[in-house]
Structures are given as structure tokens and as C-alpha cells.
Structure 1
Amino acid sequence: MGKKIQDPGLGNSSSAHAKRMMNSDGSFNLEHLNKPRRFSDAYHYLVNISWFYFFALTFLGGFLINAFFAFIYLAIGIEQITPTTGYLLNDFLNAFFFSSQTFTTLGYGALAPQGIASGIVSSLEAFLGLLLFAFVTGLLYGRFSKPKASVRFSKHLILRTFKEYNAIMFRLVNNRKSVMISPKISVTLALSKANGQGDYVNEFYALDLERDTINYLPTTWTIVHEIDKESPLFEFSKEDLSKQHGELIIMISYYDESFNQEVHQMHSYFLNEIQLDYAFVKAYYYNNDGKMVLDHKLFDAIEPVKS
């Protein structure tokens, strides 16, 4: 029945309506409720969110801070910076522009504090601006320098004849031009089954692979699990296999020479995503000069297996 293993950390409890444990981007499909928020988690959050949300939060934060100080300048009197225009909106915009120049320590010279109160507020704002710019610079460096794998997994999970039996296959490639050194991979099968009490439980199996490690990877790597008599999937037919509530949870680790350390990445496939009797199209070939070419447009290409 295969190598059944203990819960790897995902939990044995399941449900008839349970969705995938892991999203396609490698993040766990988990929702936190009543989790206490701590300020110390802000750095971790800002380093890991997408670039779009990072810059959106940065610009929104800058706008709100400058708007806040603009209201303070209006409260103490816009005359301490520049003569009033007689219109609240125009005075607010002048205060906002002065706040922006002060916050960034730019200072064009056209607007300047002319009173004690405005001088104190602008000094505090300039100091706050220096602190926040240093903080954002540190975040930018942390985001760029954070070791991160860049592995592309095939869109398709295929099932085809392999040697004497059938086999499940998927493939991967390095999204960077650098070579993956000593990549190693593990695949865990999670099967959700109903027990005698009407509940659903997860059973976990460590799948044997044709190869789970290689020396280096300049092109593509097809991962193969042969469904032989030792496989936990041997009892299912081709058609029944794709109907099972099962998920392949994958983790690959390798040494990245860009970061000079080992990095890892996770991915998952649902068994109902299996493409029956298909094969991957070879994504690399040799050109007329004898040089190997890796065509990334062919990476996800599959074709029916000829009977």
C-alpha cells in the first residue's frame, strides 16, 4: 500500500468539502482567526507582500502623513508658511506641498516656516521623514536580498504508461538563467477518506520517485512516480484516480549560487487535475550551431500519447 507516514504537519482531520491544502504559489491555504497582531510582525509582512501592495501601502502612507501635517499647518495658521489665498482647498494644497517638501527634506525655498509653531512642527516632520525613509530603504534592500527560489512547475499533471505500469509525472524548470546545484525533491500524497464514523481523515504517503535528486539542472526535470504494486495509488484505475480527493504536496530544495545558500519552494497538484494519456513535449533541442536551446514556450506543452 506504499509508505504511509505520520502527519507531516498538515493535520489528520479533513472534510467532504475540504479544498486544497496548498495554493499553486506554494502558500498554505490557511485562514487565521483571532490571531493577535504585533508590531514586530510588520517587517515580516512588508517584506513578503507583493510589490504592488508594497508600493501601494508606501504611497498611501506617505499621502496620509503629509495630509496629517497639512491639517496641522492649517490649524496653526497657513500664514506662518505662505499668505492665505482665501480658499480652504488652495490653502490645504499649499500646506500639503510644503509638508511633502519638508517630509522629503527637499525644500524648494518657495515655502518656508516663518513662525515658532510652524518651525517646530516642520522640524519634527523632517526628523520623522528621515526615519521613515531609512525604514523603507531597509525594506527595499530586504525584499531584493531575500533568498528566494524561482522554480516554475508545469501547468499539467499527467498520467501515462511508463515501463510496466502507469506513472504520474510533472516537470519543473529554473526561471533564472543560473544553474540549480544539487536539487532534491520530495512528494507527499495526502488522501482524504471517510472513516467508519462518517468523518473524513487525511492519510499521508511519501511517494517513491524515479529520481529525487540530481547534480545540477540547466534545462527541465521531469518528476516521475511509478504506480507499481508498492504505490498507494496502485488500487485505483486511471479513471478512478482522478476522482479521488487527493493532493500531491511538493517541496524542492537546491543551492542557489546567486544567494550562496540553499533555497526551497513548494507546490501542489490535485489528483483531479490529472491529464490522462498525455506526454510532455520536449522543451529543449539543439540548433544548427550545435548549441542547446531551452524554449520556455514549450514548457507546458503536452501531446496525446500514441497508442
Structure 2
Amino acid sequence: MAFRNLNRRAQINNETGLGTNTALSGGRFFAKDGRANIEIRGLHFWQRLNLYHTMLSMKRWKFLAAIMLFFIGINLIFAGIYLLIGLEHLSGMVANTYGEKFGEAFFFSAQTFTTVGYGRINPVGFLASFVASFEALTGLMSFALVTGMLYGRFARPRSFIRYSQNALFAPFKEGVALMFRMVPYTKNYLVNVEVKVSIAMKVLED
């Protein structure tokens, strides 16, 4: 069955919002990864910030980098607190230089934060013990939050669907219809599929 053009004089319009060129005015309605191409204005940064959603939607390497930076940063902060309290309140330290002492305070903080606690270094006095207890509580809560975010990232539904590169108009049921192909690229099957398509185009009529 031969295809026919709706209008031979119709010209391609790349500013409909569904084109492939995002540099033109208007841009795409949706990005190629399915995210809505929407710019929110009139709200402050803290009103638009959603840390949980950001952590769920960011790329995998950015998520892992954020977790590592948080882990290193929080232990640097607690190591600095132990230095302010006084390293004499940490029993079992064998370092001599200031840098080595800070390193031992950092790794003691990491062991306390992860609730490992090897036992060679232990806090002495109320203030150091209070800080260590608070750090252990912070570590437990942090691991619970990270575990929830990891589960949210793995449990988030994904479509795993690919679409044909081109769409076309072809005869269909005594008329003309827009046709394109879609297929799951994992070991899944589509059953009772319902698709809603939005299209914006400019057609020059006689």
C-alpha cells in the first residue's frame, strides 16, 4: 500500500516543542529521557529544593559521589570537634605529630560513625563521650536514610521502552494515522497497552 503526503507544500517546523533541536525557541516539551522540559520561576531556591527527589533522580555516579563526600565531610567535622575538645580525651592514641593525631581522630570518627568501634581508641570524660554518642546516633540515622534512598532508586518503576527513530503517516481504517513503533528492550512483555500521544505540528493548507 503506497503512502501519500497530506500536503506537499507543508514545511518542517522545528519549534513545535517535539523536535530534536533544543537550541531553537520553545525547545522540546519532554527531554529524550522522558523528563518534562519545564522551567519553574517565581519560587525561592529552598522552596524548589527537594533533596530526596534529587537523590533519587540523579545519575548513579553522582549519587555515589554525594554519599562518599558526605561520609568524608561528616567525619572531618567530628574529627575537628575532637581536636577542639582535646586529643587527651581520646585514650589509646599513639601518634606523635599533629597530622598523625588528626588522622587518628578522623579514623576514630569513622569507626564511631559506622558503629564499628575497634576498641583501641576510646573517649575519656563526659564531653568526649557525649560527642561520640551523638556521632554514633547520627551514623545510625544516616545509614537508615541512605538505605531508604538506595531502595527507592532500585524500586523506582522504569519503562525500559524504546521508540522508533522516525514516525510516519500511513493509511489506516479508511483514513490516515500517525504510526511509530515501541518495544521493551528487557525481558518484559507488553500486555493491554494503552498509549496517549501528544503531537504539535504546523501544516500549511491550500
Shorter-normalised TM-score: what interval? 0.7 to 0.9
Query: 3-state SS of the aligned residue for 2:36?
Result: coil
Report the AA paired with residue 31 of structure 1. Answer: E
Q: Which has the larger share of strand?
A: 1
CA deviation profile, 1:34-58 (whole Å, cap 9, x unmatched): 5332598322222222222222211
Q: 1:29 to 1:128 in 2, by over 3 A?
A: same
Cα contact 1:159–1:166 (8 A) shared by 2: no
Match of 2:181 among 164, 171, 175: 171
CA distance in 1, matches of 2:170, 2:64: 49
Alignment of structure 1 residues 226-305 onto 2, 5 Å: 235=205
Identify the residue that residue 47 of structure 1 maps to in structure 2. 56
CA RMSD, Structure 1 to Structure 2 (Å): 3.2
Question: Deviation of residue 136 (structure 1)?
Answer: 1.1
CA deviation profile, 1:41-77 (whole Å, cap 9, x unmatched): 3222222222222222111111111110010011111
Using structure 1 for the length normalisation, give the TM-score: 0.52
Match of 1:24 among 17, 32, 38: 32
Query: 3-state SS of the aligned residue for 2:104?
Result: helix
Question: Deviation of residue 110 (structure 1)?
Answer: 2.0
Question: Deviation of residue 128 (structure 1)?
Answer: 0.8
Q: 1:61 to 1:174 in 2, by over 3 A?
A: same
CA distance in 1, matches of 2:25, 2:70: 40
CA distance in 2, matches of 1:98, 1:173: 53
Report the AA paired with residue 174 of structure 1. Answer: P
CA distance in 1, matches of 2:25, 2:147: 44
Question: Deviation of residue 31 (structure 1)?
Answer: 2.6
Match of 1:182 among 167, 180, 192: 192
Report the AA paired with residue 197 of structure 2. Answer: V
Identify the residue that residue 137 of structure 1 maps to in structure 2. 147
Report the AA paired with residue 97 of structure 1. Answer: F
CA distance in 2, matches of 1:50, 1:42: 14
Question: Deviation of residue 122 (structure 1)?
Answer: 0.4
Q: Which has the larger share of helix?
A: 2
Question: Deviation of residue 184 (structure 1)?
Answer: 1.5
Q: 1:21 to 1:138 in 2, by over 3 A?
A: same
Listed as ranges, the gaps of 5+ residues in structure 1 are: 2-9, 11-15, 193-232, 237-307
Using structure 2 for the length normalisation, give the TM-score: 0.74
Q: Does 1:87 align with 2:71?
A: no
Q: 1:20 to 1:39 in 2, by over 3 A?
A: closer
Alignment of structure 1 residues 200-239 onto 2, 5 Å: 235=205
CA distance in 2, matches of 1:117, 1:109: 18
Match of 2:134 among 114, 119, 124: 124
Cα contact 1:78–1:84 (8 A) shared by 2: no
CA distance in 2, matches of 1:180, 1:88: 64
Identify the residue that residue 65 of structure 1 maps to in structure 2. 74
Cα contact 1:157–1:168 (8 A) shared by 2: no
Match of 2:116 among 95, 106, 111: 106
